[in-house]
A and B are shown apart, each in its own frame.
Chain A
Amino acid sequence: MKVFHFTEQAYPEAWENHGGSLRVVLPNAKCDPQIAADRFHRYYDEWKLADELGFDIMMNEHHSTATCLSSTVVVTLSVLARETKRARLLVLGYPIGHRPDPLRVAEELSTIDVISRGRLEMGFVKGVPYEIPVANTNPVFLMDRFWEAHDFIIKAMTTHDGPFNWEGEHFHYRHVNIWPRPWQQPHPPVWSTTSSRSNARVLGERGYVIATLGSGYNTRALYDAYREGWASKGRTAPPPPDRFAYLALVAIARTEAEARRRAELVAGYPRTSSIVAPPFRNPPGFLSAMDNAQLLRGKTPARSFTKDGRVIAMASASVQELIDAAIMFCGTPDQVYAQIVDFTTHCGGLGNLLMMGQAGNLNHADTVDSLTLFAREVLPRLKELKQPAPEATAA
């Protein structure tokens, strides 16, 4: 198993008196550029340490929000491509459906892949609903744009014999010939996130890495849909564990009491992430009309479950509930290791743990200590972990 260190690069100084929305409409007067600079440098330092400790690295972007200072992930990638030496650099993700210019995306990512000497993992994402009012992309066509941008970027990265023409539904170019071309052949690995079985199946058909974020005990159903898609394309061997990734919060310390203290700080992420003015939570077309009809009728699908089937609300759950739902792995190194192994068994194999090793108000000293402890006590065991065969475990 690979373990990626991830932080949302939060700006908790603006989490008080937000007037009901940490995203979209929170005035940037609440962002002090000097504090922002300190936070960026601190988060980069922690990623640099993660590189030295043997972790891989994940980064992302969000827009107009105090939950994530990174509004342009290419900047983060650019800094880390040179500041780190060995870690895989996973962008998860790059919201390509929102980008007006996928040629620019192909150029940026190829350049990052070359500068990092082939360490880029390309995660393409739809993005959360709250990105839509900021990007002003029509949500009705978002996934069409996403897949056309994807097709274009892959074509641009794998075409080496001079310019090609692209006159698609959403994007038009007549002379596509990117320099530099990517280091990895035929192109950097592709990842994507999903919380729906139908999308999981599509990712399986394509053989891309599927990442699910805080999906807890819904994860197995998503991975099984992936396996169905994988097999539907005539592949006889099951997908290897490295096709699966799961994002969880991690709070670790030498004692359980200290781990619980850190857990309360890390839980600042799920407790703030969905503080968004109501009109921006569900733009038209983001969900299907059928799903929206169910919501109008007051039928909200439960997203998070504990292992024994209790529904929890991620935004208000206690630390114990987050642990029970496998949204957080928390405790001493032995406890954290046992929880991860147990969840891996539930998944029928898990090759990539995306570890939110810093979140909310967990400070630099605590983050350094947590990362160091995890690297020493848990990471070596996970690297050696024998993965369960998917058919050997009950769904």
Chain B
Amino acid sequence: MTNPARRIRMQRAEGERGVSLDGVSERVIAGVRIELIERGQGRPLLFLHPGIGIDAAAPVLARLAQSARVIAPSHPGFGRSELPRAMTTVDDLAYFYLDVMEALDLRGATLVGVSFGGWIAAEIAVKTTERLSHLVLADALGIKVGGRESRDIADIFAMTEAQFIEHAYHDPAAAKRNYAEMPEADVLAVARNRESLARFGWSPYMHDPKLPGRLHRIRIPTLVLWGASDRIAAPDYGRAYAAAIPGARFEPIEGAGHFPHLEQPDAFARRVLAFAAGQGAAP
């Protein structure tokens, strides 16, 4: 979902930027042209979107921008961001975001990832946290906790869109979209998001078998937020995620499913900002 009024200026040179009125720019980082939403002032907050993409008009971005400098890129292959052929794994995306943080010279950043973006965030944090102060994983995918014949994460590719919405939202009625009335470029972004999510998460399905054994490396304050009504990945999965990260705290968000940043943007932003402002529990 993207703002139809948005127009992106094309920038080709490495590091060059052109910012439109609503803070959406396009940048070339590590040779990849991506679209980037930047809002607000203060300590940096890198927001990694879920598989359904990010809308520049999403209320959560405005709320977060009240107390932070929010940087919300579209992942390579999502929205209008380029996809280099060689990028095939979430590990590739994690290394790309290490380059992004370096290119933007982020220091003491809060890293926030939702769902698929939470998986990327975890893969970043097990590599290095040198540019990070806090980590927030919201309804994050990326690990396997159950046995080989159980499915921790609902198979969204075996669902119709209506079934997906039923599983993903606390209030499914609010999530329906009418593609016939959306601008063509935005519908194309929806189709690209779905394809890219499959590219990175088809098999092993939405997880990296190596990740659980590496989560102990995350030694910064970590908050695991979870939509209490999430039926894509149940809150118990989130509790297991939190238990694998030293000192991590688990907090449910009522009235939200798999995308609490969309269904409860105020509560989501408030918890993230309060957590980022505090010292957090020492690991």
- What is A's interface to B at a CB cutoff of 8 Å? 133, 136, 138-141, 278-280, 283-285, 289-290, 292-293, 296-298
Contacts and interface: CB of A to CB of B under 8 A. Distances in A.
Interface of B: 88, 157-160, 163, 179-180, 182, 184, 187-188, 190-192, 194-199, 202-203
Given A284-B195, A289-B188, A139 B163 contact: no
A293 B202 CA distance: 20
A275 to B, nearest CB: 16
Contacts of A298: 179-180
B74 to A, nearest CB: 14
21 contacts: A138-B198, A138-B199, A139-B202, A140-B199, A280-B158, A283-B157, A284-B157, A284-B194, A289-B191, A289-B195, A292-B191, A293-B184, A293-B188, A293-B190, A293-B191, A296-B179, A296-B187, A296-B190, A297-B179, A297-B182, A297-B187
Contact of B202 (A140, A278, A279, A296): A140
Interface of B is mostly: helix
A298 B177 CA distance: 13
Given A138-B198, A140-B199, A297-B187, 16 more contacts: A138-B199, A138-B202, A140-B196, A140-B202, A279-B157, A279-B158, A280-B158, A284-B157, A284-B197, A284-B198, A293-B191, A296-B191, A297-B179, A297-B184, A298-B179, A298-B180
Contacts of A297: 179-180, 182, 184, 187
B202 to A, nearest CB: 4
Contacts of A284: 157, 194-195, 197-198
Contacts of B163: 279
Contacts of A279: 157-160, 163
Contacts of A289: 188, 191-192, 195
Contacts of B188: 289-290, 293
B187 A136 contact: no
A23 B159 CA distance: 15
A283 B198 contact: yes
A140 B197 CA distance: 10
* Most-contacted residue by chain A among B163, B188, B190 (CB, 10 A): B188
Contacts of B199: 138, 140-141, 285
A136 B179 CA distance: 29
Contacts of B187: 293, 296-297
Nearest to A284: B198
A279 B203 CA distance: 17
Contacts of B158: 133, 279-280
A136 B157 CA distance: 11
Contacts of B184: 293, 297
A20 to B, nearest CB: 12
A35 B203 CA distance: 36
A279 B190 CA distance: 17
Contact of B160 (A133, A138, A278, A296): A278
Contacts of B198: 138-140, 283-285
* Most-contacted residue by chain B among A136, A140, A278, A298 (CB, 10 A): A140
A298 B179 CA distance: 8
A147 to B, nearest CB: 14
A289 B88 CA distance: 17
Contacts of B202: 136, 138-140
A138 B180 contact: no
A280 B157 CA distance: 8
A278 B203 CA distance: 21
Contacts of B159: 279
Given A278-B160, A293-B184, A140 B195 contact: yes
B152 to A, nearest CB: 17
Given A279-B163, A297-B184, A298-B180, A285 B195 contact: yes
3 closest pairs, A vs B, by CB? A284-B198, A292-B191, A138-B202
A136 B204 CA distance: 10
B194 to A, nearest CB: 5
A144 B194 CA distance: 19
A133 B158 CA distance: 8
